């Protein structure tokens, strides 16, 4: 007998689908084009497909779910989609961590809240055409039209004035002007939408957003590798390159700006606008990226006491560094906090709304450098730790960045090793979240000791001592025709990274005088932070073992902050206030830092 159809609504993406009653929920999501993490293939052992029912009738909870879900999840009503059947019309909520990487990218916030304190104001002006009876200059008539709208004394730079006569005549003496304070930064056809460019300049990657300045909508986004990587993969090696080459700083600046211009071209083409409509840019990055972009000296950043050349917010015409926006457009860079806590961290704190949180909050953005803030009782401490590029897949033998075919999740069930790859492509390497999971699963299976040595018995474990390796995917199942494995030295790379991060956390806790359990809210930002599995990060001891509901993975908050800084002068003021308030903690100055670091290297969590 045919089962009646029921309607399933999947939140927060608002996808609806009709399926026969009794259909498995994981299958329902797939049919609706929503990919949930299902590393164990629906066996109910990986916990990847967690969802929370909001309303409607589902099959009763199974014993497998009772065993797999934590007490907190059970109490909050979570279910495993693979163990659940839909019996009536239902609405379910999918937490961000249950989406696969590509799907998670799609659900990342698209809107930036605009407020009534915009940086750029669009103004329409219509002027009388020049004639033998009206011989005022073009500029005079436009300025007078602005004055008539209560906008007297507008300033037009030479580069903006150059385009004015042509634009006036081409548009029947009717224009849209982009006003920045008292300065006109762009002259455009009437009604032209105005856009801004926000870029998060990471040591490894660039993330660029094109934002409609009126609606706050992100019209397009694009990513690229930071081209400076060819001159050194981390901040220190780039500074060394600059120190050793007379034209080094110029070379790094030129390559970066070329890439930014290419990204801008891609974004403009996608939205169907001209560069002339991009009237403001906000660029954020760590202090070295900031200095290399602006052309500030970096030598002093690379040697103790690691001093920034400038830490105030900056703004200057985009053309000064060759960024090809509207002729009069400006670049704004928020303040940085210290030599190694840059504008990207300020931007992250703004994006995650952590300017003055009521709760004791720890926020970090994991990258080649990991910046950490701890905010406790109105005091704000920040530090930066050199966590290295292992989580970007670098220094890992089979490592790769998060791209199709990268193993992003690993789960052991008994002797079976399940992996999940991005876009479900045949495996060709392991990205950061996959490596983290693999180390955590090895630890849980008792195959990895606290010092990082692999030992024990498992069909996938080969070799002994320093030569021990664990095979994640056999050669026959990979796209590269060879085994994909984790070696002892890969594990050591992860150990160094996690040790640096945990040591940074411990030093800030000590500075604030609170234990780890005093952290009421633990915010994990950044691309890697979005995809990592929290349980894995806790299992290996990278994060303290806190109640899970205190953790939140907030995506690229630095990018969100940069977009907010693009549309709001108020956010720029908050950035200034934040920079005044933060106390920078230099880890190298801590007398016991090495002791804390060595302790933090151990795998496991108390």
Residue 48 near ligand FES by CB under 6 A: yes
* Least separation in angstroms between CB 418 and ligand FES: 8
* Least separation in angstroms between CB 42 and ligand FES: 5
Site string for ligand FES, 265-304 (x = CB under 6 A): ----------------------------------------
Residue 44 near ligand FES by CB under 6 A: yes
Which of 29, 49, 235, 273 contacts ligand FES by CB under 6 A?
49
Q: Which stretch binds ligand FES (CB under 6 A): 44-52, 135-143, 337-345, 462-470?
A: 44-52
- Residue with the two structure tokens 């002027």: 127
* Least separation in angstroms between CB 28 and ligand FES: 13
CA nearest neighbour of 393 among 436, 444, 451, 424:
436
Pick 487 or 539: Cβ nearer ligand FES: 539
Q: Which residues of 389-427 are buried (b: 16+ CB within 10 A; e: fewer)?
A: bbbbbbbbebbbbbeebbbbbbbbeeeebbbbbbeeeeb
CA distances from 164 to 39, 136, 139, 254 (A): 60, 14, 7, 30
Residue 53 near ligand FES by CB under 6 A: no
Q: Which stretch binds ligand FES (CB under 6 A): 46-54, 274-282, 445-453, 564-572?
A: 46-54
* Least separation in angstroms between CB 104 and ligand FES: 16
Pick 47 or 285: Cβ nearer ligand FES: 47
Element of type H or E holding 56: strand 50-58
Residue 51 near ligand FES by CB under 6 A: no
Phi and psi at 226, nearest 5°, equal: -70, 120
Q: Which stretch binds ligand FES (CB under 6 A): 39-47, 86-94, 108-116, 352-360?
A: 39-47
Which of 9, 34, 46, 229 contacts ligand FES by CB under 6 A?
46
Pick 69 or 127: Cβ nearer ligand FES: 69
Which of 40, 51, 402, 435 contacts ligand FES by CB under 6 A?
40
Q: Which stretch binds ligand FES (CB under 6 A): 32-40, 209-217, 504-512, 585-593?
A: 32-40
Residue 175 near ligand FES by CB under 6 A: no
Residue 82 near ligand FES by CB under 6 A: yes
Which of 19, 80, 198, 278 contacts ligand FES by CB under 6 A?
80
Rounded CA separation 318/323 (Å): 5
Length of the chain: 606
* Least separation in angstroms between CB 24 and ligand FES: 10
* Least separation in angstroms between CB 125 and ligand FES: 60
Rounded CA separation 584/269 (Å): 42
CA nearest neighbour of 336 among 310, 361, 354, 362:
310
Pick 80 or 127: Cβ nearer ligand FES: 80
Rounded CA separation 430/421 (Å): 9
CA nearest neighbour of 555 among 101, 14, 33:
101
Residue 42 near ligand FES by CB under 6 A: yes
Phi and psi at 427, nearest 5°, equal: -65, 135
Residue 327 near ligand FES by CB under 6 A: no
Q: Which two tokens stand for residue 321?
A: 């560094």
Q: Which residues of 188-210 are buried (b: 16+ CB within 10 A; e: fewer)?
A: beeebbbbbbbbbbbbbbbbbbb
Q: Which stretch binds ligand FES (CB under 6 A): 43-51, 170-178, 338-346, 388-396?
A: 43-51
Which of 8, 10, 17, 38 contacts ligand FES by CB under 6 A?
38
Residue 47 near ligand FES by CB under 6 A: yes
The DSSP-derived string for 297-358 is: --GGGGSTT---S--S-EEEEGGGGT--SSTT-EEEEPPP-BTTB-HHHHHHHHHTT-SS-S
Element of type H or E holding 259: helix 248-271
Count of residues binding ligand FES (CB under 6 A)? Answer: 13
Contacts for 585 with CB less than 8 Å, ≥ 6 apart: 381, 382, 383, 507, 508, 511
Q: Are 507 and 596 in contact (CB under 8 A)?
A: yes
Rounded CA separation 146/175 (Å): 11
Binding site for ligand FES (CB under 6 A): 38-40, 42-49, 80, 82
């Amino acid at each position: 007998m045919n089962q009646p159809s029921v309607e399933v609504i999947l939140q927060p993406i608002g996808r609806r689908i009709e399926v026969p009653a009794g259909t498995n929920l994981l299958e329902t999501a797939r049919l609706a084009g929503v990919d949930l993490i299902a590393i164990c293939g629906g066996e109910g052992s990986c916990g990847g497909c967690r969802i929370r029912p909001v309303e409607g009738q589902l099959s009763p909870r199974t014993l497998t779910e009772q065993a797999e879900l934590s007490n907190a999840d059970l109490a909050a009503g979570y279910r495993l989609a693979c163990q659940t059947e839909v019996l009536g019309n239902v609405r379910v909520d999918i937490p961000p961590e249950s989406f696969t990487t590509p799907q998670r990218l799609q659900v990342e916030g698209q809107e930036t809240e605009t407020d009534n304190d915009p940086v750029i104001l669009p103004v329409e002006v219509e002027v009388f055409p020049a004639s033998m009876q009206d011989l005022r200059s073009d500029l005079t008539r436009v300025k007078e039209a602005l004055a008539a709208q209560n906008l007297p004394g507008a300033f037009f730079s030479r580069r903006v004035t150059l385009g004015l006569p042509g634009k006036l005549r081409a548009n029947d003496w009717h224009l849209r002007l982009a006003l920045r304070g008292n300065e006109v930064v762009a002259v455009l056809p009437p009604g032209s939408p105005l856009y801004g460019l926000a870029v998060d300049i990471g040591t490894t990657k660039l993330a660029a957003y094109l934002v409609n300045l009126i609606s706050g909508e992100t019209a397009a986004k694009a990513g690229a590798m930071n081209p400076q990587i060819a001159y050194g993969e981390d901040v220190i090696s780039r500074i060394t390159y600059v120190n050793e080459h007379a034209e080094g700083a110029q070379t790094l600046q030129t390559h970066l700006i070329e890439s930014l211009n290419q990204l801008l071209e891609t974004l403009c083409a996608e939205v169907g606008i001209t560069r002339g409509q991009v009237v403001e840019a906000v660029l954020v990055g760590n202090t070295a990226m900031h200095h290399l972009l602006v052309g500030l000296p970096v030598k002093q950043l690379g040697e103790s006491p690691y001093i920034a050349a400038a830490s105030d917010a900056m703004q200057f015409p985009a053309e000064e560094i060759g960024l090809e926006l509207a002729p009069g457009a400006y670049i704004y860079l928020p303040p940085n906090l210290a030599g190694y806590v840059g504008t990207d961290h300020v931007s992250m704190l703004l994006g995650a709304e952590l300017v003055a949180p009521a709760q004791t909050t720890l926020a970090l953005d994991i990258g080649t450098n990991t910046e950490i803030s701890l905010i406790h009782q109105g005091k704000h401490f920040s530090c930066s730790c050199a966590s290295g590029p292992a989580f970007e897949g670098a220094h890992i033998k089979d490592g790769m960045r998060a791209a199709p075919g990268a193993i992003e999740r690993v789960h052991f069930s008994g002797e079976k090793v399940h992996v999940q790859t991005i876009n479900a492509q045949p495996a060709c390497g392991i990205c950061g979240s996959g490596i983290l999971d693999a180390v955590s699963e090895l630890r849980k299976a008792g195959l990895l000791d606290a010092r990082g040595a692999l030992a024990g018995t498992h069909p996938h474990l080969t070799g002994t001592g320093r030569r021990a390796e664990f095979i994640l995917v056999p050669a026959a199942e990979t796209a590269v025709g060879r085994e994909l494995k984790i070696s002892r030295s890969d594990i050591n790379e992860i150990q160094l990274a996690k040790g640096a991060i945990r040591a940074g956390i411990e030093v800030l806790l000590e500075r604030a005088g609170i234990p780890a359990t005093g952290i009421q809210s633990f915010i994990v930002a950044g691309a890697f932070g979005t995809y990592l599995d929290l349980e894995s990060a806790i299992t290996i001891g990278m994060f303290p073992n806190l109640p899970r509901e205190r953790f939140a993975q907030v995506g690229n908050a630095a990018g969100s902050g940069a977009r907010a800084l693009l549309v709001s002068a108020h956010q720029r003021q908050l950035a200034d206030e934040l920079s005044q308030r933060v106390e920078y903690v230099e880890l190298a100055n801590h007398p016991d830092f090495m002791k804390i670091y060595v302790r933090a290297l151990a795998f496991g969590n108390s």
